[in-house]
Each structure stands twice: as structure tokens, then as C-alpha cells.
Amino acid sequence: MAFTLTSGRVTILLGGEFFVPDVLTIIIAYIFLLYGVAGSSVFALSQGLFVDLFSGGVNGIFTLLYLSVCGGILLCSRFLNIHSPRGQATIVCLVMTIKYLSFFLVMKIFSQLAIFSSSFLWVALTTVLITAVTAPLFFNLFDRLNLVKYT
């Protein structure tokens, strides 16, 4: 929750939305790897509700997005190996694409005032690629932090 509250400030300090990976999506994937569907679903639901509570957007959109991330991870992990770095990057890339498509569709359906420019496409594409490339690094970092906790 602390990361969610401070992520907007960190995004501004790091140069906008272009070069910041979506760490919550990576965390959901890592929790899926460790605790399975139940753990990642509970985390995704709680984070979605938390972000919806503190955002001024459409009610329930972030809950839907993070649950679609969890469902996308479940679907993609049936075909790809989430234990390998290549599988982690591919799953996160596909799931981020699903997340942005879901966001676009929900905003077009429920908000008639939503206007998307071509810069939205570039920001989304850059974020998807940065998140996918950094996912194996975060998985490795989380594994190392998990080992430190138990030693």
C-alpha cells in the first residue's frame, strides 16, 4: 500500500510514465508464482480496491484491471513457463497488453468523454516493454529478499 501511495511521486521523479515499470503487475505475477491463484487474486483485489478508493477515476476500474492482470497471468502461465526469465518477461508483456486493452475498452464503453491520443499508445507501449524487460530482474530481487528473510 505504501508503494501505491508513493508511486505517483516516484514516477514524476524518474521522468514521467515513459521509463517506469508497472511494479504492481510484476508483484502480482510474483505472488502468483509463490502462492498461486488464491494469493495473487486476493492481492490484486485488495490493491484494486485500494487504488479505486484513493483515485478520482471511474469506480471499480482498477479492481477490474488488476483482476484482469491476475486472470491473464493464470491463462498465460498455462502455456508459458513462469519459472524461467523468458517466460516471466513474456507473461508480463502479454498481461500488460491485456491490462491496457481492458482499460481502453472500459473507458470507451463507460465514459463518453474519454479521448485517447496517439501519445497514450506510445506511453502504453513503452510501459509494456520496460515492464516486460525488468520483470525477470524484479523476480530475482524478490527471490533474494525472500532468501534473506528466512536466513
Q: What percent of the chain has pLDDT over 70?
A: 82
* pTM, full prediction: 0.84
In a domain, 123, yes or no: yes
In terms of residue numbers, what domain contains 89? 23-140
Residue 66 lies in a domain: yes
pLDDT of amino acid 86? 95
Phi/psi at 23 (nearest 5 deg)? -70, -30
pLDDT at 8: 52
Number of domains comprising the chain: 1
Which residues lie closer than 8 Å to 21 by C-beta, 6 or more apart? 127, 130, 131, 134, 135, 138
Residue 75 forms part of a structural domain: yes
